[in-house]
Amino acid sequence: MKNITAKTLKIIISLWVFTILMACQSNQPKNQGITAPEDTLLKAEAKDMQWAQLQQSTLVSLREQSFGEAEIKINQMMALAEEDHEKWEYIRMAIISMPEDLSLKLVDRALEYAFVKNSNQQVFAFSRVLTQLKYETKALDLINQVIKKEKTNEYVYWRARLLLLLEQEKKAENDYKWLLKQDPDNETYISQYATLLSYMKRHDEALALLKGNEQNVDLLFRQVILLLQNDDEMAAEAQFKILQDRVVLNDLSAQQRLEIGELAFWMKAHEFSLELLEGVKTGDQVNEAKLLIANVLVDQGNYERAAVMYHQVQNGPEEHAIPAYQLEVELHRQQNNLAQAMAVADLGLTMFKDNVDLLYSRAMLHGELDDLASLERDLKQILTAEPNNPDALNALGYSWADNDMNLDLAYEYIMQAHAIKPNDKAILDSVGWIYYKKGNLSKAEKYLRMAIDGNTRDSESYLHLIEVLQQQGDQSAANTVIELAQELFPEEQF
Report the pLDDT value the prediction gives residue 416, as an integer from 0 to 100. Answer: 97
Q: In which band, very low, low, confident or very high, does the pLDDT at 285 lie, cut at 50, 70 and 90?
A: very high
CA distance 175 to 163: 9
Those residues with Cβ within 8 angstroms of residue 316's Cβ, 6 or more apart along the chain or in another chain: 284, 287, 324
Res. 206: pLDDT tops 80: yes
Res. 247: pLDDT tops 60: yes
Report the pLDDT value the prediction gives residue 36, as an integer from 0 to 100. Answer: 52
Count other C-beta atoms under 10 Å from residue 431's C-beta.
Answer: 27
Residues in the chain, overall count: 494
Sign of CA dihedral 427, 432, 433, 437: positive
CA angle 206, 207, 210 (to 5 degrees): 90
Reported as a single tens digit per residue, the pLDDT across 343-400 is 999 999 999 999 999 999 999 999 999 999 999 999 999 999 999 999 999 999 999 9
Q: Are 430 and 414 in contact (CB under 8 A)?
A: yes
CA distance 348 to 355: 9
Q: Are 428 and 455 in contact (CB under 8 A)?
A: no
pTM over 0.85: no
CA distance 170 to 151: 19
Report the pLDDT value the prediction gives residue 75, as an integer from 0 to 100. Answer: 94
Residue scoring higher pLDDT (453 or 454): 453
Would you list the DSSP string of 352-383?
Answer: STT-HHHHHHHHHHHHHTT-HHHHHHHHHHHH
CA distance 288 to 280: 9
Q: Are 445 and 432 in contact (CB under 8 A)?
A: yes
DSSP 2: P
Res. 5: pLDDT tops 50: no
Count other C-beta atoms under 10 Å from residue 406's C-beta.
Answer: 16
- Of the candidates 380, 385, 382, the residue with the CA atom closest to the CA atom of residue 400: 380
Question: Torsion-angle region of residue 135: left (phi > 0), alpha (psi -120 to 50) or beta?
Answer: beta
